[in-house]
Amino acid sequence: MPDVRTEEMVLNMGPQHPSTHGVFRAELVTDGEIVTAVRPHVGYLHRCFEKHAENLSYTGVIPFTDRLDYLASMNQNFGFVLAVEKMLGLEVPERADYIRVIMAELNRMASHLMMVGHMGTDAGAITPILYGFRDREYILDLFEEVSGARLLYNYYRVGGVIADLTPKFVEKTRKFLDYIGPMIDDFDQLLSYNKIFLGRTVGVGILPPEVAINYAVTGPNLRGSGVNWDLRRDEPYSIYPKLSFDVIVGKEGPGVVGDSWNRYWVRVQEIRESAKIVRQALDGLPEGEFIRAPKNVRPPKGADLYHRTETPRGELGYYIISDGTPTPFRVKVRSPGFVHISAIPAFCTNIMVADLVMSMGTLDFVMGEVDR
Amino acid sequence: MREWGRSLAGTLGAPEWVGQVALMFIGAIGVFLIMALAALAFVWLERKVAGRIQSRYGPNRAGKFGLLQTLADAVKLLLKEDIIPAAADRRLFILAPYIVFIATFAAFVVIPWSGKLYISDLNVGILYLIAMGSFVVVGILMAGWASNNKWSLLGAMRAAAQIVSYEVPVALAILTVIVLAGTMNMREIQEAQSGWIWKWHVFQSPFTFLAFFLYFVGSIAEANRTPFDMPEAEQELTAGFHTEYSGMRWAFFFLAEYGNLLLVSLVAAVLFLGGWNVGIPGVPIPGPIVLAAKAVLLVLLQMWLRWTLPRLRVDQVMAVCWKYLMPLSFGTLIGAGAWRMFFPGAA
């Protein structure tokens, strides 16, 4: 009998694809259903953020940072203004600090709500994402209340935030925090412990902790692999030292440490933790100014600084070099998504296509910040 | 039917075969209408059910309660540009949706709607149904291959593996009922379930009870519905084997899918749930309405499952079939045979 010719098939997943989150191309070499090689290709959403930043004032860069990780705009703003303030040696009014953390944590909740929903979609359950979006709408309403925008807020400034909280905001936020707890339990019931979902995520796409650390994976992905590291606790900034919250780390439960289930579960629990943080911040909210803007934002010539914060995706770092002028000389963004994508070939080979989709989904990258 | 054909021909004064053929056409059109209208209705139902489960309304602008939505969709699909990929195998590409549609459509002829209302009274009705169910695979493979698209091919291969594998537990579950009923004739099976509700086959023995669930799960897999919708997994394959189909061709696939849903539910209702029998003797509800109601309930159940559960991975789908459903269905068959031996009266 002549040899049956079997070849490996080279498949392009993306850039237009319902499940690669954003314009992302993964070149797969498959042998039947098994993926033998993954080669990620990025750059489809490159919008020259870093070049733009060289021609804008420090305040002018802020709206551009919104558009990096558009699902967590507040956190992107936060990182940037913190870096600039550190370069200037500026201290922010306490009220502004509290407001900033409230916004950042609310945005973390919104981002995670969307992401755990769409992990369900990657597994085929189309309903959870709509539940996630429904609850996220409340958060977007809160943001609209205070900044005027639903998704790209441009809310932070060097020295504080652009507008104060309204009394309605505080009341609505407290109502929302009471509402979200049972909703997460609902979510858990629908998806987290569903046998089929467990079958799709437990033991799938295991990212060993050493590999994660070697590839500089951060954020919930790193914590899902069992590494207890959270910048909010370990390199605290703003008012985080005053707040008490748990750092959720992946565990052996239904899932194996480092698998997709743990990466998903860490995010679900982080929604609860963020709710805790927001509650504490609201309780401790002081009166005062919401901004103490410097006359000129002009860091000293030759000053350079790298500052990192914990965003819903991981460690976001801004490296700013100043040349004494009102515009930065260089703004470099260390984006967590870019780093996570580079780790994909390390743990997503020799698995099935369906598992690949699941694993990449749980990495939770947003192309806006990957490509900048 | 033959007598009707003869009498029709007699009244028209034409040779007998004219009456036969005329009736065949009327029957075919009738079945097509049932299938098409059912598909239209189920598309609307699915979108409303999906909407409500997802905490939203579903279509409610096109007509009251969105009832005209499917019509609007049909018009849109008819007006859409017919795109055939340049490198596709034209003949197979065009033929594939028709084959899938015909397979489902042809299976409807053996469903008896009441004691007297049926298109075809095949003595081996069930066998014919199972055969038609397998025929769908040919169309799906053609669609996947002819699209000249690797993702479609992957989806088609998954579909073929899945449908062919699940034939086994489905056929065995059906066999369990046949053992109990002693006939493959769909009409006689329903007549055997007349009377009170415990005469329904699903309650007659623990083995047929289990067989009902095996059949139901297996038929969801046959119809490529979540949790077994790997072949059309949007998140991975864009749209699986029907990625490259647009407009009316795609509509045919979907007509076939919803027709299949109805077919599978009808068969479950006929075999297990008493068919046209109400379950309480003497209640004057016409048979077809009872049967349709039971089928619609099962269809609703399938829709509920689709919007609640995630989907199984393809190797898990295979594992469920070969490692769980098949041994269980063999067990029910043997058990049903033993049951029949010890309780010969129960039939």
* CA gap B311, B307 in Å, rounded: 10
Q: What is the total count of domains within chain A?
A: 1
Cβ atoms of residues B151 and A357 within 8 Å: no
A123: which chain B residues are within 8 Å (Cβ-Cβ)? 310-311
Q: Which two tokens stand for residue A161?
A: 């935030």
Element at B103 (helix H, strand E): helix B90-107
Question: For the residues A186-205, what does the mean pLDDT come to?
Answer: 84
Cβ atoms of residues B35 and B255 within 8 Å: yes
Question: For the residues A321-340, what does the mean pLDDT come to?
Answer: 91
A130/B54 touch (CB, cutoff 8 Å), yes or no: yes
Q: Which long-range contacts (CB under 8 A, 24 or more apart) does A142-149 make?
A: A142/A106, A142/A169, A142/A172, A142/A173, A142/A176, A143/A74, A143/A103, A143/A106, A143/A107, A145/A169, A145/A172, A146/A103
A3 is a domain residue: no
The phi, psi pair for B96, rounded to 5°, reads -55, -50
Minimal-distance CA residue of chain A relative to B304: A127
Q: Give the range of the structural domain holding residue A333, as residue numbers without chain letter.
A: 9-371
Q: Is B226 on the interface with A (CB under 8 A)?
A: yes
Task: Give me the residues paired with residue A317 across strands.
Answer: A308, A334
* CA gap A360, A338 in Å, rounded: 13
pLDDT class for B347, splitting at 50, 70, 90?
very low
Cβ atoms of residues B268 and B219 within 8 Å: yes
Q: Which residue type does B52 have?
A: R
Task: Give me the residues paired with residue A41 across strands.
Answer: A25
* CA gap A132, A119 in Å, rounded: 11
Residues of A engaging B, defined by a Cβ cutoff of 8 Å: 9, 11, 17-19, 33, 120-127, 130-131, 134, 190-191, 194, 196-197, 199-200, 352-355, 357
Q: Which of A24, A353, A362 to mutate to test the interface with B (most CBs of B within 10 A)?
A: A353
The CATH code of the domain that includes A137 is: 1.10.645.10
A194: which chain B residues are within 8 Å (Cβ-Cβ)? 309-310
SS (H, E, C) A260-323: HHHHHHHHHHHHHHHHHHHHHHHHCCCCCCCECCCCCCCCCCCCEEEEEEEECCEEEEEEEECC
B234/A19 touch (CB, cutoff 8 Å), yes or no: yes
Minimal-distance CA residue of chain B relative to A14: B238
Residues whose CB falls within 8 Å of the CB of residue A29, separated by 6 or more in sequence, listed in order: A8, A9, A10, A11, A35, A36, A37, A38, A39
Q: Which two tokens stand for residue A314?
A: 């991981």
Average pLDDT value over all residues in chain A = 87
For the segment B224-244, what is each residue's pLDDT rounded down to a tens digit? 787 787 766 655 555 666 677
pTM, two decimals, is 0.84
Following DSSP, what letter does each residue of A42-84 receive, concatenated?
A: --TT---HHHHHTTS-HHHHHHHHHTTSGGGHHHHHHHHHHHH
* CA gap B186, A207 in Å, rounded: 55
* CA gap A167, A102 in Å, rounded: 14
ipTM metric: 0.76
| pLDDT of amino acid A109 | 93
A124/B309 touch (CB, cutoff 8 Å), yes or no: yes
A4 is a domain residue: no
| pLDDT of amino acid B245 | 77
pLDDT at B303 over 80: yes
Cβ atoms of residues B95 and B142 within 8 Å: yes
Residues whose CB falls within 8 Å of the CB of residue B44, separated by 6 or more in sequence, listed in order: B59, B66, B67, B69, B70
Cβ atoms of residues B73 and B43 within 8 Å: yes
* CA gap B300, B306 in Å, rounded: 10
Question: For the residues B234-262, what does the mean pLDDT come to?
Answer: 75
Q: Which of B47, B235, B305, B306 to mutate to test the interface with A (most CBs of A within 10 A)?
A: B235
pLDDT at B144 over 80: yes
B227/A190 touch (CB, cutoff 8 Å), yes or no: no
The alpha helices in chain A, defined as continuous H runs, are 49-53, 58-66, 73-88, 94-123, 127-147, 167-187, 195-201, 209-214, 220-224, 231-234, 260-283, 336-347, 353-363, 367-371
Alpha-carbon gap: B217 to the closest alpha carbon of chain A (Å): 14
Cβ atoms of residues A352 and A151 within 8 Å: no
Minimal-distance CA residue of chain A relative to B319: A199
For the segment B67-118, what is each residue's pLDDT rounded down to a tens digit? 888 888 888 888 888 888 888 778 888 888 889 888 888 888 888 887 777 7
Cβ atoms of residues A241 and A101 within 8 Å: no
Q: Is B319 on the interface with A (CB under 8 A)?
A: no
Closest to A279 (Cα-Cα) out of A311, A232, A238, A244: A244
Of B230, B307, B312, nearest to A199 by CB-CB distance is B312
